[in-house]
């Protein structure tokens, strides 16, 4: 969380407190006071000595050995495994939870529930633990054991769903549970929640802009919920309309790029905006594995499989350029995955 963002939130809270005191409706004012005091309590948590204050502001690492085309083309990656929950999804999860508290949808008696291939679940579980909310997650039973262990360690409840139905099946299960018991749960629904992409609009994009000294020319990211690509690209294009935004996705419905979607055969997330990408690239699981291995052996970066795919996509973009600054996102680290793909 940047200081700028924190200051913005404090101003928002201050503004809504003022609105409450001007309101003539005392019961609405009372519930708004509860929300505001909860927001203040959370804001007091999110400072530099608190675990949630460590979300965002990740390093931007230069790829030095895998790419040697010429000195005029540079490739950088946001090292998102430096987030306290270990992935890029800490940003979206915190944004959705703060928005839900602010809007009054997440009260202390509700359980946060969602469908996730793992990283968002870990982020909810960590944030839920830090802020005192119960967390229930539906995930395909073939999600990696390492991820399941992390969820359990943070105290989340897991509901396993059919691996053949992927994250779509897990989403279906959550919808059923919420429909049957709407008072019990708060469902952030990361596929359709604007606070997901706004997290990247407010933080990831601004960090990339500052960390490259405003020199970024190309942004490359994979499509899962699509929050990272949509939010970061939207802001970067506002900062400089000349920035080229490239989305990538798996090249087939049956793929090993955990966290990413083959959109042609999946439920397209509501937050996806098909007009943003200047180009689309398809990446195979094998290409991603190859890059995971090379990043570990040649760059000292042990990353997850979608990060390998991000590297493969960035190399394709960079190899077309005479000059440019290509920035991508490495969503998580390699320790969260099995070892089958490692040489």
Ligand X SMILES: Cc1ncc(COP(=O)(O)O)c(C=O)c1O
Q: Site for ligand X (CB under 6 A): which residue of 58, 161, 204, 226?
A: 226
Q: Site for ligand X (CB under 6 A): which residue of 227, 308, 324, 334?
A: 227
Give the rounded distance of the alpha carbon of 265 from its chain centre: 22
Contact indicator for 79, 215 with CB cutoff of 8 Å: no
> At which residue do the structure tokens 């083309």 appear?
73
Q: Site for ligand X (CB under 6 A): which residue of 224, 308, 324, 334?
A: 224
The span of 38-46, 106-114, 124-132, 258-266 binding ligand X (CB under 6 A) equals 258-266
Q: What angle do CA 83, 170, 252 make, to 5 degrees?
A: 80
Contact indicator for 134, 166 with CB cutoff of 8 Å: no
Q: Is 266 a catalytic residue?
A: no
Task: For residue 135, count other CB atoms closer than 10 A to its CB.
Answer: 24
Integer Cα distance of 88 and 75 in angstroms? 19
Give the rounded distance of the alpha carbon of 223 from its chain centre: 11
Q: Residues 32, 78, 87, 89: which is the catalytic one? A: 89
Integer Cα distance of 191 and 201 in angstroms? 16
- Contact status: 136 vs ligand X (CB under 6 A): no
Shortest Å, Cβ 3 to ligand X = 24
Q: Which is nearer to ligand X, 224 or 324 (CB)?
A: 224
Shortest Å, Cβ 47 to ligand X = 26
Task: For residue 340, count other CB atoms closer than 10 A to its CB.
Answer: 7
Shortest Å, Cβ 341 to ligand X = 14
Q: Which is nearer to ligand X, 38 or 200 (CB)?
A: 200
- Contact status: 83 vs ligand X (CB under 6 A): no
Task: For residue 178, count other CB atoms closer than 10 A to its CB.
Answer: 17
- Contact status: 228 vs ligand X (CB under 6 A): yes
- Contact status: 306 vs ligand X (CB under 6 A): yes
- Contact status: 208 vs ligand X (CB under 6 A): no
Q: Which is nearer to ligand X, 75 or 283 (CB)?
A: 283
Integer Cα distance of 75 and 325 in angstroms? 6
Q: Site for ligand X (CB under 6 A): which residue of 9, 75, 82, 89?
A: 89
Q: Which is nearer to ligand X, 154 or 229 (CB)?
A: 229
Q: Is 323 a catalytic residue?
A: no
For helices 119-131 and 145-153, the axis angle rounded to 10 degrees is 10
Which residues here bind ligand X, judged by CB under 6 A? 87, 89, 117, 119-120, 222-229, 258-260, 304, 306, 331-332
What residues are labeled active site? 89, 306
């Amino acid at each position: 969380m940047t200081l700028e963002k924190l200051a913005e939130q404090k101003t928002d809270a201050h503004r809504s407190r003022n609105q409450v005191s001007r309101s003539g409706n005392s019961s609405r004012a009372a519930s708004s006071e509860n929300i505001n005091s909860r927001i203040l309590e959370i804001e007091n948590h999110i400072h530099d000595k608190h675990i949630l204050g460590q979300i965002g502001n990740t390093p931007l690492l230069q790829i030095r050995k895998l790419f040697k085309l010429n000195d005029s083309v540079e490739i950088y990656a946001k090292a998102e495994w430096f987030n306290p929950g270990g992935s890029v999804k800490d940003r979206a999860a915190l944004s959705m939870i703060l928005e839900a508290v602010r809007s009054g949808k997440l009260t202390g008696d509700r359980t946060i529930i969602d469908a996730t291939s793992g990283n968002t679940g870990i982020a909810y579980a960590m944030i839920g633990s830090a802020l005192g909310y119960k967390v229930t997650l539906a995930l395909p039973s073939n999600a990696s054991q390492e991820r399941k262990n992390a969820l359990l360690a943070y105290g989340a409840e897991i509901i396993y769903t059919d691996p053949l139905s992927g994250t779509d099946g897990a989403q279906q299960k959550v919808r059923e549970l919420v429909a049957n018991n709407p008072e019990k749960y708060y469902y952030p629904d990361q596929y359709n929640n604007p606070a997901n992409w706004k997290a990247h609009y407010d933080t990831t994009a601004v960090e990339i802009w500052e960390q490259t000294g405003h020199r970024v020319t190309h942004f490359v990211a994979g499509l899962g919920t699509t929050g990272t690509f949509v939010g970061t690209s939207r802001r970067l294009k506002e900062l400089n309309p000349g920035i080229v935004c490239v989305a990538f996705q798996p090249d087939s419905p049956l793929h090993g790029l955990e966290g990413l979607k083959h959109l042609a055969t999946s439920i397209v997330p509501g937050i996806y905006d098909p007009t943003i990408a200047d180009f689309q690239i398809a990446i195979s699981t094998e290409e991603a594995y190859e890059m995971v291995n090379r990043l570990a052996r040649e760059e000292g970066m042990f990353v997850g499989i979608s990060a390998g795919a991000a590297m493969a996509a960035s190399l394709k973009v960079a190899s077309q350029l005479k000059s440019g600054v290509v920035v991508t996102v490495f969503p998580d680290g390699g320790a969260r995955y099995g070892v089958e793909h490692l040489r």
